[in-house]
Structure 1
Amino acid sequence: MNSNAELLRQLKIDKSHKDTPGGGNGGGMRTVWIVLAVVLALLALAGGGWVFLARRPVEVRTATAVAPASAAEAGAVLQATGYVTARRQATVSAQITGTLTEVLIEEGDRVSKGQVLARLEDNALRANLQSAQASAAAAHATVAQSEAQLTQALRDADRQEALVGRGLVSRQLAEQARTQADTYRAQLQTARRQAGAADAQVGVAQVNLDYTVVRAPFDGVITDKAAQVGEIVSPLSAGGGFTRTGVGTIVDMDSLEIDVDVNEAYIGRVQADMPAEAVLDAYPDWKIPAHVIAIVPAADRGKATVKVRVALEAKDARIVPDMGVRVSFLERRAPTASAAPKGVMVPAAAIVQRDGHDVVFIVADGHARRHDVTAAAASGDLRLVTTGVNAGDTVIVSPPDDLADGNAVQPAKPAP
């Protein structure tokens, strides 16, 4: 009992000690405040870490939604590569040698038939034309003079014939008058022929002058500008000099087609008028309907290939010469053949249930965006989605159960 009473006395607060700034109780209070500050700091760090972890992008597996294969693709019997070519193109040049004074074209310009593309220096040829025109005018004046002389000679001859009939002059004078009229008639014929020759010279001079103007031979697009003002152009090779042989190249874009080389071992699968589908290397998602024009009856011994001409059934400004292209030769199908289904194909694992709906998460600007979709038929590991997703969208495969709309995501790195 004594020991218990002793313990109770030790637990009593000694009120004789007062709080002083330097006392023991003051040090205890500071310790409490320090502990409290440390606890608050730890809580702040924990909260910041939680926020950082919550905002850190979630690594997800992704895939690209693709358009479903069409009936045409399913019926491809052969594929070959080739290039877009123009059946109608020309390097335009002057028909005479001369110095360029104007070049009115640039690459990419559309021109029409007869449009002026360039002009050559024409002072000498213009002077020749003027000289020829003056000579022609003089020749026609001579014709007019000969016509007047013939008219007068015919009247004199008729008058002499009348006087001979009345016996007033001799027959000799009448014959001389008639001979003079015949002479003027012959001179008139000569003058007319000389006038015709002078007119021909005018025509030659005009043609030579027209040769100084370079015109477009057909409608098309300028693909190359080969000469500049001040350069000499000639229809003949300059033999290594600085003379240009062309002003520019013009291409008729309506004549574009495809030339493909088909391995001779498979050429038997290709037939004239066979349907085809072309895909440009520059636009891999653009399928262009086409058909076979002809199989060129010649083989390349070195490459063991046969050239096939393929017509493009749709023309577009994006198609330009020398583009690489892949051609799929298709089977002939009945008119009732099914067309490609509407929608896109996505991995089946990309479609999940949320709130009783089929949804797909699409990656946009580094965030997951929830899209309600309408899913249709499955094809292996893929499933057709008819609404909610477009071809080319990046979808998340097997999204986590806690993934929500707007969460930051990043594609998972492939395994090494």
Structure 2
Amino acid sequence: MTDKSELLRQLRIERDERPAQAAPSRRWWWVAGLLGLLIALGLGALLFLHAALPTVQAAVAKPAATGAGMEAGTSVLDASGYVVARRQATVSAKITGKLAQLFIEEGVHVKEGDVVAKLDDRNATAALLQAKAAVTQAESTLLQAKAAAADIAPIYARDRKMAAAGVISATALDQSKANYDGKQTDVAVAQGNLAVRRAALEIAQRDLDDTIVRAPFTGVVTTKNAQPGEIVSPLSAGGGFTRSGICTLVDMDSLEVEVDVSENFISRVKAGEPATLKLNAYPDWSIPAYVIAVVPTADRSKATVKVRVGFKSRDPRILPEMGARVSFLSRPAGGNGGSANAAGVTLPFAAVQANAGSATGIVYVLHDDTVERREVKLGARNGDEQTVIAGVSPGDRVAVGDLTKLADGAHVKVADRS
């Protein structure tokens, strides 16, 4: 019995010992698997975040030229505007009439006094003939009145002598004097009537001359507004079917550029200072120019001041209403009234985020793979370079790229500039 009990005890499984030995092994695999998963997720997140970082290029701030070392021709301000003609006119007839002949086309050069068009002159010619006939009639009337006055003059003189001798009565003398005065009045009336007829003749002649439309100055026809057979009038009488102008004439020697400059920068522009401009149609062509005048009034709605810029040389490629960009230049060092750049640094223009209507801007300074947002004071712009007067030191590395995606302290990827 004892042997059986001992045998059964030996065959009994000890359940408390096996879990105690297997539990540490299972926990180790769970921990190892969890750590591996966390490491994989971390690496994936790092790769994703790195790929999502904005990519910028680095540019180094260079010392800017100052005072005596600055060269002439540095841009102190850029502005956009349009080519305009100071002298242009809509050519029209002085009278209302039907256009009979047209002698111009767009692009034709005309000189002052050249015939541009002719109106139907039949009515004006008839009126002129009528006025000439009226003058002839008035001249004949005047001759008749003078002859009658001359005939009655000796009769009146004789009557005066006879009245003095007592041959005729005073009543007869008075009647003779009345007849004499009447003839003299007829002469005066005939003379006045002749003057009126001659004035009417001059008006009729001018009306006939006004049927010929001439160029008021030398220039180029830019638009043709009427065709033969249409009614033209300086007053647009007759409704929408009446043309108020025949053509537009532009004096190409009067072309200039008008630009609107922000009030914050107008102090950089002075009359007589040099400038260069580029037409939008010819972006690689730099045209020498100069400031004609700063118009002494501001536009309150746009907070700008108008500046007139003239061309130093003329060229047939320059046309009215062309878009243009003007660079106002500094004078040579030591010149009177020259606009010199203040000390600072030069950066690529793409590295500066300018504030609209202000002389300040934003740059992002690179610190390894992070950026620092800085507000800077802007100076002159020269081509693709921007002078920064304050806020950046020489040697600082700044971000170049899409600055709208950056923020203070943001991480970036820095790519080499090609």
- TM class, shorter-chain normalised? 0.5 to 0.7
Taking the TM superposition and a 5 Å limit, the aligned residue runs for 1:218-367 are: 218-237=217-236, 241-333=240-332
Say whether 1:127 aligns with 2:135: no
What amino acid is aligned across from residue 185 of structure 2 in structure 1?
Answer: A
Q: CA, structure 1 residues 195+280, in 2 after alignment: closer, same or farther (shift >3 Å)?
A: same
What's the CA shift for 1:325?
Answer: 1.9
| Cα distance in 2 for residues equivalent to 1:237 and 1:304 | 37
Structure 2's unaligned 5+ residue stretches are 1-69, 337-417
Per-residue deviation, residues 220-266 of structure 1 (Å, max 9, x unmatched) = 11111111111222223368633222110001112111101222321
Normalization by structure 2: what TM-score? Answer: 0.58
Say whether 1:109 aligns with 2:108: yes
Q: Which residue of 2 aligns with 1:151?
A: 150
Contact 1:85 1:321 in 2 (8 A): yes
Per-residue deviation, residues 99-138 of structure 1 (Å, max 9, x unmatched) = 1110011112222222221111121222122112211211
What's the CA shift for 1:168?
Answer: 5.3
Aligned Cα root-mean-square deviation (Å): 2.7
Q: Which residue of 2 aligns with 1:189?
A: 188
Per-residue deviation, residues 140-169 of structure 1 (Å, max 9, x unmatched) = 211111111111211222233344556655
SS of structure 2 residue aligned to 1:241: helix
What's the CA shift for 1:76?
Answer: 1.7
What's the CA shift for 1:332?
Answer: 2.3
| Cα distance in 2 for residues equivalent to 1:132 and 1:239 | 28
Q: Which residue of 2 aligns with 1:179?
A: 178
Q: Which residue of 2 aligns with 1:208?
A: 207
What's the CA shift for 1:287?
Answer: 3.3
| Cα distance in 1 for residues equivalent to 2:246 and 2:80 | 33
Contact 2:72 2:331 in 1 (8 A): no
Q: CA, structure 1 residues 259+239, in 2 after alignment: closer, same or farther (shift >3 Å)?
A: farther
| Cα distance in 2 for residues equivalent to 1:71 and 1:283 | 26
Contact 1:153 1:178 in 2 (8 A): no
Contact 1:222 1:250 in 2 (8 A): yes
Taking the TM superposition and a 5 Å limit, the aligned residue runs for 1:7-46 are: none
| Cα distance in 1 for residues equivalent to 2:271 and 2:262 | 16
What's the CA shift for 1:71?
Answer: 4.9
Q: Which range moves more in the overlay, 169-178 or 221-230?
A: 169-178
SS of structure 1 residue aligned to 2:243: coil
Contact 1:154 1:178 in 2 (8 A): no
SS of structure 1 residue aligned to 2:318: coil
| Cα distance in 1 for residues equivalent to 2:302 and 2:89 | 28
Report how many aligned residue pairs link the two structures.
268
What amino acid is aligned across from residue 203 of structure 2 in structure 1?
Answer: V
Q: CA, structure 1 residues 256+335, in 2 after alignment: closer, same or farther (shift >3 Å)?
A: farther
Contact 2:92 2:233 in 1 (8 A): yes
What amino acid is aligned across from residue 130 of structure 1 in structure 2?
Answer: L
Q: Which residue of 1 aligns with 2:61?
A: none
Q: Which residue of 2 aligns with 1:93?
A: 92
Contact 2:71 2:332 in 1 (8 A): no
| Cα distance in 2 for residues equivalent to 1:182 and 1:190 | 12
What amino acid is aligned across from residue 152 of structure 1 in structure 2?
Answer: D
| Cα distance in 1 for residues equivalent to 2:79 and 2:255 | 18
What amino acid is aligned across from residue 200 of structure 1 in structure 2?
Answer: A
What's the CA shift for 1:302?
Answer: 4.7
Say whether 1:142 aligns with 2:133: no
Taking the TM superposition and a 5 Å limit, the aligned residue runs for 1:71-82 are: 71-73=71-73, 75-82=74-81
What's the CA shift for 1:208?
Answer: 2.6
| Cα distance in 2 for residues equivalent to 1:314 and 1:199 | 52
Contact 1:226 1:246 in 2 (8 A): yes
What amino acid is aligned across from residue 182 of structure 1 in structure 2?
Answer: D
What's the CA shift for 1:88?
Answer: 1.0
Per-residue deviation, residues 380-408 of structure 1 (Å, max 9, x unmatched) = xxxxxxxxxxxxxxxxxxxxxxxxxxxxx
SS of structure 2 residue aligned to 1:106: coil
| Cα distance in 2 for residues equivalent to 1:124 and 1:133 | 14
What amino acid is aligned across from residue 223 of structure 2 in structure 1?
Answer: D
